[in-house]
Structure 1
Amino acid sequence: MDRSGRDGTEKTATTFQEIIDGKGRVYRVGESDRDLLGGRSRKLMVYLPWVAMMAISVSEYAYGSAEGTLSHAHGWTQGDTFWILSVWVFCQAGIAFPAGWLRERGLLTARRAMFAGAVLTLLGFLALGHVDQVPGAICGFGVIGGIGSGLVYATCINMVGKWFPERRGAKTGFVNGGFAYGALPFIFVFNYAFDSGDFKEVLDGIGVYVLIVVAGCAWFFKDPPKNWWPAEVDPLHSDGRPNTGERPGAGERPHSEGSGKSAVSLARNPPAVRQFTPGEAIRSGMLPLIWVCVVLTAGVSVFGISFQVDFAKDVGFGPLVAASSMGVMSVVNGVGRAVVGWLSDLWGRKNTLVLVIVALGLAQFGVLWAGDLRSQWLFLFFAFLSGFGGGAFYPLFAALTPDYFGENHNATNYGLVYSGKLVSGLFGGGLGSAVVGAWGYNGAYLLAGGVSLVAAAFTLLLRQPGRRRLCEATPDPRPLSRETI
């Protein structure tokens, strides 16, 4: 039943087939990534989002190193700078759902979302450097800059997940990692070459840098068609065996890119049993549970980013150790995201996620212990562990969402999941500052470690909606197809 669709632009036949499994899920196969991207490999949709994520990472992961100079230059208190960051986190996470809703209805393309994000991020840095009043800085950097970074972040994460539905763990982790270690050069700039005499010029330059890099990447962004699935991987088998049948394109354009890796990943992380709308994902009970886990875990992560440098200085470590600890956190945070994404393809998403969240909790106790001992090397080690746990869970949640609920509504479903960072930004940064003021660093780090362990316990309750029913049912193994033009 092979049928041909027509590309209205190039006026050439592009053959594909829509395969329907026993649960009614549709897989569009037959079109290669090069067919859809004008001769380019889908790997481009990994590298470009990765570069864009590195560009916007300075907004969050280098902010803690800049807040001392900003406080002195603008006359802000420590609480003021932390609330500015908290609002940034709130808006950066909050824009994911409305942006996803607009994208899935065709009202906002990926390219336009990226262009808008680049411009708004530039405006955020301009406000941070030139606006002295706290409310103005909150509106400029916190709201406008946060929305800009959030548009870029959400678009990049959803893009890579759509193009690699069969191996999204490693690819999502790699892209997500750029959001952390991309800030490394700026951490040292803010610690050694950032003062009240040049801070405006430095922030202006960073804003222009982000604009150029993100806009350049955005030019090539393109989503695959809905239900698209790589032709070399059989969607009807959970072991991900390569296609060898007579499906359109399988014989004409054979390629074996990652077919063995895909088999292992799909065996450990089978695709969603169907495409869940946001309402259906919420009613399954799993999306709200994932949201709670994100709130708790991200709150601990934001706390570590916001207070590690200040805690290091408070216990008497010099600026090199303070900057290095944040640099270590940034690098390991990013590299850890790529590593656990790859591991989750081998071990399973949920198992890897529990391990990461437990490591994050233990790291909070370790940072406090090292500070009490005044041990610089021990402090750097637990900063390493905190950086690993504090970033690695993000790509796991990003990959887990389409694993559970499918790809077609992932922009909105993941937008809902990622909105948990709205709440975590408040208690991780601003509320964290209040806890430090009331209980000191000892009480704050003990609380953060405990919260992370609670999140790990909740994660153990996660399960893929409908998977048990799917196993008990007897699916119809015969593929069906229908013409799509």
Structure 2
Amino acid sequence: MTDLQESWTEIGASAGLLSRDRTIAKPGFNRWLVPPAALAIHLCIGMAYGFSVFWLPLSRAIGVSDPVTCEGMSLVSALFTTSCDWRIADLGWIYTLFFVLLGSSAAIWGGWLETAGPRKAGVVAALCWCGGMVVSGIGVMTHQLWLMWLGSGVIGGIGLGLGYISPVSTLIKWFPDRRGLATGMAIMGFGGGAMIGAPLADRLMNHFQSAESVGVWQTFFAMAAIYLVFMLAGAFSYRVPPAGWKPEGWQPKVSAKKAAMITQHHVHLRDAHKTRQFWLIWLVLCLNVSAGIGVIGMASPMLQEIFAGHLIGRPDLDFTQLDTGQKAAIAAIAAGFAGLLSLFNIGGRLGWASASDRFGRKNTYFIFFILGIALYTLAPSVAHSGNQVLFVAMICVIISMYGGGFSTVPAYLADVFGTQFVGAIHGRLLTAWATAGIVGPVVVNYLREAQIAAGVPRAQVYDYTMYILAGFLALGLICNLLVRPLDEKWFMKPDELAALQAREHKTAEVKSGSFGIDRGRFDLPALLAWAAVGIPLAWGVWMTAQKTAALFH
């Protein structure tokens, strides 16, 4: 009886619309349809970077025009109050929860994703991310901060983790010839999501606001509906290649030195974290992200406090001498600076990851660390020289390498550990991001406050910070140097791999070249799929470019 029940369960699972078997591509499928599917999900969850657009309106959700403040309110009281407006610091915890839950959920459910397939993971991500926004909207309606933490921070954070890693393994298997480009195309969407979501949220809040409401809960509901459509469309567009597939006529063509870092074998998920290489790459990502996120977190105040009056043609005024109107003027310019960094963030994700296909992943990280150390070390001197344009250019390059680190690391893992479990291994590695999300901002913010308290001029409070972040990169350089090819004992035996792939792909293996040939990349379905994600992204870039223009006036 038990055997019969198990058989029916297996049949039901394999016939399910979300099962991995239903996502195996059929002959004639164009592999260039997969990146826009991944972008559809990443552009939605990338709004996590733009959630700060809600903080100011939410800080006056009760008062609407003026915040209803309550002196001495504790964090616990803020979670349950219905009569006091929330402080921005209390709302900011949602941002922390985003990235802590992203890393932890990716690590916990990465192994499940490899067996469940990208479609099921994408659907769960859509339900969590969009459902979390609905719960947050209810939290705003009832003025319960704990519901916002639970909705967007916890439930939405789980959606972030699953949505972020859902396409990684699939894309790397579809593009063995262009691993960096493939992951760069998808992961750049996460960096660009805020460019679409933030101005969209701003327009929706302006549309819904009234004398009784700041328009945030209505915006949450509207964006949840929009994102659900896009994310489900992306999830149901995912396809995985049959076992043994490779592009027509493709054979690895790399130099002997580069080939040594690219294995043709596979490491099981249960063994990956037991290797020294895993933890070295973990540190490589953590240190690169800690340095970059430290700069992102302080980009706006750094520009304002360092250049102050220079930004408005009054070089004789430092930040403390500016009046309210002048501070508002430089704040608008700093907003343009933040937008410019967003462009370099997404550009770096695509550009550096693509370049890694030529340079090799390890060498690309060497560039990040060596060039980064030079830029972080020189930035204070350039700032004190008053060369605003050069300073902005240096920070833009730094942020491009921050984004490039994210998009290059999945291909780095595939090179070292193989592709069979790369999505799950990447999920576990993202705990480095969660760690960096705490380390980077804490180091920067507390050091800044300590120096201000010690009487250090505002224009100089970031000097030591930049030197410390350069030290992070120096440690990362050493870790990257120590990464070596894995010993053969860590690789799966051929019979174990064949049995595993047979369970995942119950259909017969196909010969290379039956799917996804490059000459089909511009057929009509592919053009429509790319337009569906490209047009919103282009709109976001245009909106950001308009704000950035103020930086150069």
Is the contact made by 1:181 and 1:334 (CA closer than 8 Å) also made in structure 2? yes
Equivalences for 1:203-242 in 2 at 5 Å?
203-234=220-251, 240=252
Answer with 1 or 2: which has the greater Rg: 2
* Alignment match of 1:460 (pick from 460, 481, 494): 481
Contact 1:88-1:143 at 8 Å conserved across structures = yes
Q: Within 5 Å, give how 1:46-445 maps onto structure 2.
A: 46-60=35-49, 62-73=50-61, 75-104=85-114, 106=115, 108-129=116-137, 130-131=139-140, 132-188=143-199, 197-234=214-251, 240=252, 263-264=253-254, 268-269=258-259, 271-314=262-305, 316=308, 318-364=330-376, 376-429=388-441, 432-439=444-451, 442=462, 443-445=464-466
Q: Is the 8 A contact 2:271 2:490 kept in 1?
A: no
Q: CA-to-partner distance for each residue in 1:271-301, whole Å, 9 max, x for gaps? A: 3142111343233310011112222222223
**Which stretches in structure 1 are left out of the alignment for 5+ residues?**
1-7, 9-33, 235-239, 241-262, 471-479
Q: 1:369 to 1:208 in 2, by over 3 A?
A: farther
Counterpart mapping for 1:463-478 below 5 A? 463-466=484-487
Q: CA 1:386–1:325 in structure 2 vs 1: closer, same or farther (change >3 Å)?
A: farther
Measured after TM superposition, the shift of residue 329 of structure 1 is 1.4
- Give the stretch that moved more between structures: 110-119 or 353-362: 353-362
Matched, 1:448 2:464: no
Distance in 2 separating the partners of 1:121 and 1:136: 14
Which one has the bigger helix percentage?
2
User: Residues of 2 paired with 1:205 and 1:126: CA distance?
Assistant: 9
Q: CA deviation at 1:188?
A: 4.6
Q: Partners of 2:490 and 2:154 in 1: how far apart? A: 44
AA aligned opposite 2:47? V
How far apart are 1:360 and its partner, in Å?
4.2
Is the Cα–Cα contact under 8 Å of residues 264 and 345 in structure 1 kept in the other structure? no
Range moving further from structure 2, 73-82 or 138-147: 73-82
Is the alpha carbon distance of 1:35 and 1:93 closer, same or farther for their aligned partners in structure 2, counting shifts above 3 Å?
closer
Which residue identity lines up with residue 162 of structure 1 in the other structure?
K
Change in Cα spacing, 1:437 to 1:194, as seen in structure 2 (3 Å) is farther
Q: Secondary structure at the match of 1:36?
A: coil
Q: How big is the shift at 1:338?
A: 1.2
Q: Quote the Cα distance in structure 2 between the aligned partners of 1:416 and 1:224.
A: 24
Contact preservation (8 Å) 2:180, 2:357:
yes
2:24 and 2:240 in contact (8 A); partners too: no
CA contact (8 A) 2:54 2:216 kept: no
Which of 399-408 and 110-119 deviates more?
A: 110-119
Query: Partners in 2 of 1:146 and 1:267 — Cα distance?
Result: 40
Instruction: Write the letter of the residue equivalent to 2:118.
Output: A
Is the Cα–Cα contact under 8 Å of residues 188 and 323 in structure 1 kept in the other structure? no
- The 10-residue stretch of structure 1 (359-368 or 422-431) with the greater mean CA deviation from structure 2: 359-368
SS in 2 for 1:210: helix
Q: How far 1:86 moved relative to its partner?
A: 1.4
- Measure how far apart 1:206 and its partner are: 2.7
Alpha-carbon distance between aligned partners in 2 of 1:369 and 1:213, rounded to the nearest angstrom: 46
| Deviates further, 186-195 or 38-47 | 186-195
> 1:385 Cα deviation (Å)?
1.6
Q: Distance in 2 between matches of 1:192 and 1:382?
A: 32
The one-letter amino acid paired with 1:173 is G
Match of 1:43 among 16, 32, 47: 32
- Cα deviation digits, residues 230-269 of structure 1 (max 9, x gap): 35224xxxxx2xxxxxxxxxxxxxxxxxxxxxx3599835
In the superposition, relative to structure 1, how do residues 56 and 292 fare at CA in structure 2: closer, same or farther (>3 Å)?
same
> CA separation in 1, counterparts of 2:58 and 2:466?
25
- Evaluate the alpha carbon distance shift between residue 363 and residue 197 of structure 1 in structure 2; reply closer, same or farther with a 3 A threshold: farther
Q: CA RMSD in A?
A: 3.5
Cα drift, residue 412 of structure 1: 1.9
8 A contact 1:361–1:453 mirrored in 2: yes
1:48 maps to amino acid: A
Give 3-state SS (helix, strand or coil) of 1:219's partner: helix
Q: Give the letter for the 2:100 counterpart.
A: F
Count of residues in correspondence between the two structures: 413
Conservation of the 8 A alpha-carbon contact between 1:272 and 1:406: yes
Answer yes or no: is the 8 Å Cα contact 2:187–2:407 preserved in 1.
yes
Q: 1:214 to 1:417 in 2, by over 3 A?
A: same
How many angstroms apart in 2 are the aligned matches of 1:279 and 1:457? 27
CA distance in 2, matches of 1:365, 1:201: 46
| Higher mean C-alpha deviation, range 403-412 or range 321-330 | 321-330
Among the aligned pairs, what percent are the same residue?
22
Distance 2:331 2:398 in 1: 19
- Structure 1 length-normalised TM: 0.75
Query: Residue 366 of structure 1: CA displacement?
Result: 6.0
Decide whether the 8 Å contact of 1:85 with 1:429 is kept in 2: no
TM-score of the superposition, structure 2-length normalised?
A: 0.66
Displacement of 1:373 after TM fit? 6.0
Aligned equivalents of 1:126, 1:312: Cα separation in 2:
36
Q: 1:76 to 1:395 in 2, by over 3 A?
A: same
Deviates further, 130-139 or 418-427: 130-139
CA distance in 2, matches of 1:438, 1:448: 17
> Which stretch shifts more, 34-43 or 219-228?
34-43
C-alpha distance 376-414 of structure 1, shift in aligned 2 (>3 A): same
- Whether the aligned pair in 2 keeps the contact of 1:312 and 1:321 (CA below 8 Å) is no
CA distance in 2, matches of 1:72, 1:311: 27
Distance 1:371 1:66 in 2: 31
Aligned-pair CA distance for 1:210: 1.8
**How far did residue 71 of structure 1 move?**
4.1
Q: Does the Cα contact within 8 Å between 1:64 and 1:306 map onto a contact in 2?
A: no
Cα 1:35–1:393, aligned 2, differ >3 Å: closer, same or farther? closer
Q: Answer yes or no: is the 8 Å Cα contact 2:410–2:422 preserved in 1.
A: no
Residues of 1 paired with 2:104 and 2:447: CA distance?
24
Structure 1 segments of 4+ aligned residues over 6 angstroms from their partners = 190-193, 467-470
Aligned partner of 1:278: which letter?
L
Q: Is the 8 A contact 1:227 1:407 kept in 2?
A: no
Distance 2:55 2:388 in 1: 22
